[in-house]
Chains A and B, each alone.
Chain A
């Protein structure tokens, strides 16, 4: 390092550098999870790339397609009798004394995920619930992506006052514990699917914005961006044509992970008794109804939990594959 006089300007520059590095660190639960998923096995990925997608990615794609298919065609599946009607209740057997026997049944061939105490088939409840849970997951991340991605893009490109202002805005939103903020919004607006989606979109906005900001920041310093500016391109054009297309692949990967986080958050809200109204079936609500029956019929809780686990796993895996495919640093190796 050349010898320079330690003036305060240099001090500020140095602290700013530290600031940027610090701000790339995940400071909240969701982005921490995302960072951990993205901290992939550097060496294993290179090998996988040569062989195409790999079996794991295909399994993940098959699982997600299966979910989407059954969610979209649920009415058709019910009317053709492939799965039982979620509303239909298997009538309880009446014992000699006239008392209804317990109808919660463990999984069997007739009912792959068993029955709940009301005699409803859990598999068809899970499929009906997936319609709401997946919509909540995808739509709220889409909304958070639009608003947060835009804010992050701007904050990373215009580092000065605009960046600082957006940064403070995000700090304010992140100061509230995420799940509590969502609980707040749902409690005030009402327990509908739309409001839960909206609440989780608000919560995911600052998280996605921070990640977009880091990505936009690193691309904005590249030579081709500087060159475009030097040629007299307008900010809007540089942002739209140079920075945005480069940040998109990474952001797409983050969005997939975000959907997984939101699906878990929906279930978390339901477990607090603060999600979508209990008479509407979602994955979280099915689990919530099973909690009092933990001891005698654990399958009510376990079946939807396993479905959530597999979905999150598939989304995480796909997110990781997308990141590895587009990661320029790794591709250059």
Chain B
């Protein structure tokens, strides 16, 4: 219990430093001397002055940081300013996030599911038939896939399935999921495959090497000697202890991918959070950048923490030691 509290304390400290760095970096991408001019370059001076006043940019750095952080904690992520001339309009960043985060999450989850659906049976069977022709073939294919950057897969798919044969839509608006699930699925198919292929190779190879180690343990020999059929030994007895690492890694990976799918989102123009973030950094939208980066970082750090705690709860070695004690 004390250990968990200590870790929680460390988590809070890490998050505070991360939030400070995010705020500071955000100011830097705005150009530091005139943030507003970079954000709404085509507006009149009066409008710019009005926005400057609204944002309180004349206040000391730490006052600005403090109010940004307290607003963030309350769920107010600031505003995104756009417009030209006199018509400067603003949209709450939280609204944009609410619209785009679900898209990214859907993409992430479907990529993870596809990757696991292929990797688990393949990994188990490869480990079972270790060093057979099948195993070597599967392993080599997966090794090749590891070297294939997701954006290359994405571009190849976009060239053939999208542009030349026109089987799948590209560059259109994402159809709403509840209204049109089939079209929505067709739209996300190419980005999903691009993300899933590399993940698949990662999971398959990790699971395979874990499984090979597990299959050499005494309790597997016992299970086999008892006459339990092979598929039951594999999936009941061997897969469970081996999947702990896999699940942990897959869980952590969701966090890493939230921001890591930027390139794929950009290539297929998926309206996800990563693409929005990249665009906002490049166009100097510092408020939006600060809030989204901190949001992703909080998500990642908290997920890490949760996996950390779960891991020590789930690992049989630790759990059993505790039970005996």
- The residues of A with any CB-CB pair to B shorter than 8 Å are 1, 4, 6, 8, 10-12, 14-19, 21-22, 25-29, 32-33, 35-37, 39-44, 164, 168, 171-172, 174-180, 183-184, 187-188, 260, 264, 267-268, 271-274, 287, 291, 294-295, 298, 301-302, 305, 308-309, 312-313, 316-317, 320
Contacts and interface: CB of A to CB of B under 8 A. Distances in A.
The 8 closest A-B pairs by CB, nearest first: A177-B259, A313-B147, A295-B163, A36-B202, A18-B312, A39-B209, A15-B3, A312-B147
A16 B300 CA distance: 22
A168 B14 contact: yes
B139 A313 contact: no
Nearest to A40: B209
A43 B131 contact: yes
B2 interface: yes
A77 B284 CA distance: 42
A134 to B, nearest CB: 16
Nearest to B310: A22
Contacts of A175: 14-15, 18, 297, 300-301
A32 to B, nearest CB: 6
Contacts of B307: 22
B258 A188 contact: no
A302 B134 CA distance: 30
Interface string B301-325: 1001001100110010010011011
A8 B6 CA distance: 14
Interface string B121-156: 000000000110001100100011011110110011
Interface stretch (B60-68, B228-236, B245-253): B245-253
Contact of B149 (A4, A40, A308): A308
A179 B249 contact: no
B17 interface: yes
Contact of A27 (B205, B256, B322): B256
Interface centre among A267, A268, A274, A316 (most CB of B within 10 A): A268
Interface stretch (B92-100, B173-181, B262-270): B262-270
Interface stretch (B41-49, B70-78, B274-282): B274-282
A164 B293 CA distance: 25
B159 A294 contact: yes
B220 interface: no
A263 to B, nearest CB: 9
A305 B322 CA distance: 52
Contact of B253 (A29, A187, A305): A29
State the majority secondary structure of interface residues on A: helix
A59 to B, nearest CB: 13
B30 to A, nearest CB: 10
A282 to B, nearest CB: 14
Contacts of B152: 305, 308-309
Given A29-B257, A37-B146, A180-B278, A42 B212 contact: yes
Nearest to B11: A171
Contacts of A40: 209
Nearest to B202: A36
A260 B139 CA distance: 19
11 contacts: A14-B318, A22-B312, A29-B256, A171-B301, A172-B14, A175-B300, A179-B259, A272-B282, A287-B151, A291-B267, A305-B149
Given A168-B13, A180-B281, A187-B282, 8 more contacts: A14-B321, A18-B315, A26-B249, A26-B252, A39-B209, A168-B14, A176-B297, A312-B148
B148 A309 contact: yes
Nearest to A4: B325
A59 B116 CA distance: 32
Contact of B252 (A25, A164, A291): A25
A295 B171 CA distance: 13
Contacts of A29: 253, 256-257, 260
Contacts of A41: 131, 135-136, 139
A291 to B, nearest CB: 7
A172 B282 contact: no
A295 B159 contact: yes
A309 B198 CA distance: 13
A12 B5 CA distance: 12
B281 A22 contact: no
A260 B16 CA distance: 33
B296 interface: yes
B164 interface: yes
Given A14-B321, A302-B156, A32 B136 contact: no
Contacts of A44: 131, 136, 139
Nearest to A179: B262
A171 B14 contact: yes
B214 to A, nearest CB: 13
B40 interface: no
B21 interface: yes
B147 A17 contact: no
B262 A264 contact: no
Contacts of A19: 308, 312
A298 B158 CA distance: 10
A28 B202 CA distance: 12
Contacts of B293: 176-177, 180
Contacts of A316: 143, 146-147
A168 B304 CA distance: 13
Contacts of A28: 252, 256
Contacts of A274: 278, 281-282
Contacts of B296: 176-177, 180
B164 A267 contact: no
A298 B202 CA distance: 28
Nearest to B15: A175
Contact of A272 (B25, B146, B278, B325): B278
